[in-house]
Structure 1
Amino acid sequence: MLASGVGRFGRRAWLELGLAEELLEAVGRPDPSPYLPSRLAVGELACDSVALSALALNLAAADRAGTGGPEPVALDGVRVATSFQSERHLRVDGERPDVWSPLSGFFKTADGWVRTHANYPHHGRALRALLGASDTAAKDDVARLIAERGAKELEDKAAEAGAIVFAVRSAQEWREHPHARALAGTPLVRARIRAEGPPRPWRGDGGLPLSGVRVLDLTRVIAGPVATRDLAFAGADVLRLDSPHLPEFPWQHLDTGHGKRSALLDLRSRAGRAALDDLLKRADAVVTGYRPGALAPYGLAPDDLLDRFPGLVVGTVSAWGDTGPWAGRRGFDSIVQAVSGIALIESPDGVTPGALPAQALDHAAGHLLAAALTTSLTRSRTAHVSLSLARLALELLAHPAQPTTPATQPPPTTQTFPLASGPLTTPLPAFTYAHGPSTHPSPAPWSTATPTWL
């Protein structure tokens, strides 16, 4: 069924960005809930976030063309659902990558459950060290050691040790937690505007809403990469930078790297810092996806960037946000689901924790951040726009929905690229926009570009 406008999540975020509510009526919104079945309003969250990114791009296109209001936005529920479940449809040379490490998941403790995240090797090493296990300890050994400990004891010790282990809580337990209390009542999407500038002098003539816009992408693992993928889909020159000291799975970049270039840059070196400064001087936007404070030693804290580069738009996304006692902790979508009560709400049997039908907090956060970035770029703002997965989880919990009956899953909407390593299949874009393409540009392999602007 097609509904007019957007739902509760999108309406709130749109108004927090200072945009006119009547513009939301340009959106026709399908319901993908049967393809994202949940006890929570995941389908509404998915469509709202995608709709806002598409609407912001239509506004940018209208602004660039000087044609007034945005053209209508039409969404496809199957596209939205396929995109939100992208890792399920990803194929690299015909093979589906192993998304989860054996040491990532739910484990029973002496007094409850924890969820771990150990996909990256350094997180796996930290988990084993936390438990006093050998460097080669397998899942059964880790499970036995976790079962001897308390959930919250492990959570606190893990934070000190750099491991990612969090206690599974009920929604009520989470609402009473000091960090959740710190987030309650804060904006879903926060926009701190330093200054409004004159109309943007659009560069380039690529015919897309963000042609000529330069975006420096310092993000990892879904939410941030989804945001910058939306910007690349709209024609921006997106340059992703990674440290040569941090590992990345090549397939993970291919899942969200469409239209971007990817380079390594060592910010610990003097040459790397000089190259970063040269990039920043010509950037229009900087997007980061690390813990608050993690990039501050390199001059990449939002306020430092805005002080040094007037006219810049800075976007940040993190697990826990930049306020509250957990602001500096590591986290991922799966972890936030476990901590916030979502995992217990989605339990298949009322005992064992479950999960949403997609990493919906990550994907929705990415599209909402893209909408906020596009809006600030269009309005020539010097601004910092930010959101957190934990704040988004609180909003999702505040709007429970009736459980949806899974529909017969339609064929996924995917496209295939002929890469040198073999064919790559990924979902089609979650949305299209006025006079834009209907397919993604090809992703380039990770770390194959030079750290320079086109």
Structure 2
Amino acid sequence: MTERPTPQAEQSPTAQSVTEQSPAEQTPVPQPAAAQTAAERPPVDGPTAHAWAALGGSADLLERVSFHGPDAVLPSGLPVRQLARATVAACSLAAAELAAHRNGGPVPAVRVDQGAVATAFVSERHLTVDGRTPVTFAPHSGFWRTADGWVRTHANYPHHRTRLLTALDLPADAGPEHLAKVLGEQPSERIQERAYEAGALAVAVAPVSATAHPLVETRIVDSGPSTARQLGPAALPADGIRVLDLTRVIAGPVATRTLALLGADVLRVDSPHLPEADDAHADTGFGKRSTRLDLADPADRAVFEDLLATADVVITGYRPGALDAHGLAPDALPARRPDLIVAQLCAWGWTGPWAGRRGFDSLVQAGVGIAGHESAPDGHPGVLPAQALDHGTGYLIAAAVLRALTDQRTGRPGGRHLRFSLAGTASWLLHGIEPEASASDEPYDSERWLAETDSAYGRLRHALPPIAYDGAPTDWSRPPGRWGSDPATWL
């Protein structure tokens, strides 16, 4: 049997970060203007405290966080609502902290609306384009019975569908019925490994794993005196920050969409040989610009190097090692740019036999036991009420980048190497968050957190951002442009 993508068993499944910085080296951040007595302070939310500690944030700032809005959102057998609101709260607090550093004064209060969070966590399902609702999953994607259980496939992109059919010796025009027949004749593990060898995506539905990956890993790159640009007063906390976005498919794009909301100049860079779905970009392209560069082409590579030379942040969402051949290995970038913040995202964690495998939220749900945990009475595997691993990890990445920007200037200088995985967020959901009963019967109506705007794709109905601190922006400054259509320059 193939070994599951699990890390060392002794690792804590809670929201604990791995970092080389000791608490004694941290410099206090701006504090609230007036102290509160213990009786006056709102109770600290446990998952938010865990996430904030994993990001290296000061526990004193947690008293700035409160929640309101409907509890009856993101219903699940797992604490999805708590994970969702905690990741948004941590990101909101990181934004408020950076805003306070730039502008002086106390850290603004963070007041997270659970309805806004729930709506944002399924933003791809709320999206309409000129009244048309996009198809979230393609016909060849989903759960399928096998000879000994179930398997989950992902074939939303044409090249993934082609690889899957090729791996199973099916013709290129084979329909879902033909796929189901072939899958039903083979054991799950065999399908999984045949797909992996062909570069396709299929994962056997597994029982809940008892081990865990860390939620956040942080390495501080010592570089002597800081050369990071000083950040003056600004209306938005990430104003003037340049972010190279090398991500695809929800988690990374949600992170960079959030940084764009908060003022960053975000430029997404894709290969011209790996097309993006228009609907996916229409959902996650808000606030950003998008260009195409072939890093194997000398001219395009020179353009990319010019962008990198003045970037503050690089966020990657490709499997480990995929960008190393282009000189973008995690150790190579800080060596060239000591104050650069590098955030990496992968599916299955950074250690173990599955570390280099491709994966998406739906596949990780299957592989770590979430699909089995959420199964129906008839045994059919289930799903979370949202792509919560993707969205939650996206807000954590944005939060970590914001915290790193603050910490570089108020704590310890140097670059930052930040690592995240969907498996790490899944571990936290499965083992690190205590279930909480609903305390409010306030009704939930997603229409309150939807808006419409014109774009290059047409009239979009879209979810509003859930980031919430006093003074936070309520919508993006620009709609998504056409994928890959912007010049490869900074604003």
TM bin (shorter chain): over 0.9
2:42 matched residue in structure 1: 4
Distance in 2 between residues matched to 1:107 and 1:4, nearest whole Å: 47
1:45 to 60, 68, 83: 83
2:454 matched residue in structure 1: 418
> What is the identity, as a one-letter code, of the residue corresponding to 2:445?
P
Q: Output aligned runs, 1:176-191, within 5 Å.
A: 181=211, 184=212, 186-191=213-218
How many angstroms does 1:345 deviate by?
A: 1.5
Structure 1, gaps ≥5 residues long: 176-180
Q: Is the 8 A contact 1:30 1:76 kept in 2?
A: yes
> What is the identity, as a one-letter code, of the residue corresponding to 1:410?
D
Q: Output aligned runs, 1:24-423, within 5 Å.
A: 24-30=62-68, 33-67=71-105, 69-171=106-208, 174-175=209-210, 181=211, 184=212, 186-195=213-222, 198=226, 201-202=229-230, 207-380=235-408, 381-398=414-431, 399=433, 401=435, 409-412=444-447, 413-423=449-459
> What is the identity, as a one-letter code, of the residue corresponding to 2:421?
S
Change (3 A) 1:397 1:244: same
Which structure is higher in helix share?
1
How many angstroms does 1:5 deviate by?
A: 5.7
Q: Is the 8 A contact 2:102 2:232 kept in 1?
A: no
Q: Is the 8 A contact 1:16 1:191 kept in 2?
A: no
How many angstroms does 1:202 deviate by?
A: 3.9
> What is the identity, as a one-letter code, of the residue corresponding to 1:249?
A
> What is the identity, as a one-letter code, of the residue corresponding to 1:194?
V
Distance in 2 between residues matched to 1:407 and 1:120, nearest whole Å: 39
TM normalised by structure 1 equals: 0.93
Change (3 A) 1:76 1:329: same
1:438 matched residue in structure 2: 474
Change (3 A) 1:395 1:406: farther
How many angstroms does 1:231 deviate by?
A: 0.7
Change (3 A) 1:415 1:448: same
Identify which range, 77-86 or 442-451, moves more after superposition: 442-451
How many angstroms does 1:425 deviate by?
A: 1.1
Question: Deviation per CA, 1:52-101, whole angstroms, max 9, x where unpaired?
Answer: 1110010100000122x411100111110000011121011111111111
Change (3 A) 1:56 1:396: same
1:178 matched residue in structure 2: none
Distance in 2 between residues matched to 1:76 and 1:335, nearest whole Å: 29
| DSSP 3-state at the match of 2:222 | strand
Distance in 1 between residues matched to 2:55 and 2:171, nearest whole Å: 50
Distance in 2 between residues matched to 1:232 and 1:420, nearest whole Å: 18
How many angstroms does 1:440 deviate by?
A: 2.1
Identify which range, 27-36 or 37-46, moves more after superposition: 27-36
> What is the identity, as a one-letter code, of the residue corresponding to 2:162?
R
Change (3 A) 1:440 1:402: same
Change (3 A) 1:95 1:204: farther
Question: Deviation per CA, 1:172-207, whole angstroms, max 9, x where unpaired?
Answer: xx33xxxxx5xx3x5311111113754953468752
Runs of 4+ in 1 over 6 A off after TM superposition: 402-407
Q: Is the 8 A contact 1:317 1:388 kept in 2?
A: yes
Q: Is the 8 A contact 1:4 1:29 kept in 2?
A: no
How many angstroms does 1:322 deviate by?
A: 1.6
TM normalised by structure 2 equals: 0.86
Question: Deviation per CA, 1:373-396, whole angstroms, max 9, x where unpaired?
Answer: 111112224011111111111111
Q: Is the 8 A contact 1:5 1:29 kept in 2?
A: no
Question: Deviation per CA, 1:307-365, whole angstroms, max 9, x where unpaired?
Answer: 11111000111111221110110100011111111112112325000100000010000
Distance in 2 between residues matched to 1:389 and 1:257, nearest whole Å: 21
Q: Is the 8 A contact 1:346 1:354 kept in 2?
A: yes
Distance in 1 between residues matched to 2:269 and 2:441, nearest whole Å: 39
Distance in 1 between residues matched to 2:137 and 2:441, nearest whole Å: 24
- Paired residues, what number? 441
Change (3 A) 1:47 1:4: farther
Q: Is the 8 A contact 1:6 1:51 kept in 2?
A: no
| DSSP 3-state at the match of 2:331 | helix
| DSSP 3-state at the match of 2:107 | coil
Structure 2, gaps ≥5 residues long: 1-40, 409-413
Q: Is the 8 A contact 2:456 2:482 kept in 1?
A: no
